[in-house]
């Protein structure tokens, strides 16, 4: 084999271009920017599927934000002291107040109509 001959130089050029083509094919397959022959990059244009996926992703993110807001409201309701308000009202019915001048209500007794 002649290391200084034109076949060797052409072989190195062919291997270099082949590797460049394979590299760009792999990058394009996985969505990375493509390299040109001078080392610069060319961004991949959006395909219809990519646009559809971006729109779906934005929709799902907005739904997730709405669910998080609802979860915060539900957590506030459950952990709020107002949640046990009915129990506290029932407890206050049995305790007479110092300034109680009203007539006690007997809510447990049913009125009998003749």
Could you give the CA distance from residue 104 to residue 93 in angstroms, rounded to a whole number? 9
* pLDDT 10s digits, 14-60: 999 999 889 878 877 877 777 666 666 666 666 777 788 889 999 99
Tell me if 27 sits within 8 A of 34, measured CB to CB.
yes
More confident residue, 106 or 52: 52
> Residue 23: how many CB atoms within 10 A of its CB?
13
Q: How confident is the model at residue 67 (pLDDT cuts 50, 70, 90)?
A: very high
Q: Which ranges of 30-99 does DSSP label H, i.e. alpha helix?
A: 48-79, 85-94
Tell me if 33 sits within 8 A of 27, measured CB to CB.
yes
pLDDT recorded at residue 91: 72
């Amino acid at each position: 084999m002649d290391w200084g001959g034109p076949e060797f130089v052409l072989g190195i050029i062919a291997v270099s271009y082949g590797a460049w083509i394979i590299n760009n094919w792999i990058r394009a397959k996985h969505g990375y920017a493509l390299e040109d022959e001078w080392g610069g990059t060319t961004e991949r244009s959006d395909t219809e599927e990519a646009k559809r996926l971006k729109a779906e992703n934005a929709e799902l993110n907005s739904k997730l934000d709405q669910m998080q807001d609802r979860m915060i409201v539900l957590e506030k309701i459950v952990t709020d002291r107002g949640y046990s308000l009915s129990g506290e009202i029932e407890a206050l019915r049995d305790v007479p107040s110092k300034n109680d001048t009203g007539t006690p209500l007997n809510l447990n007794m049913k009125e009998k109509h003749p």
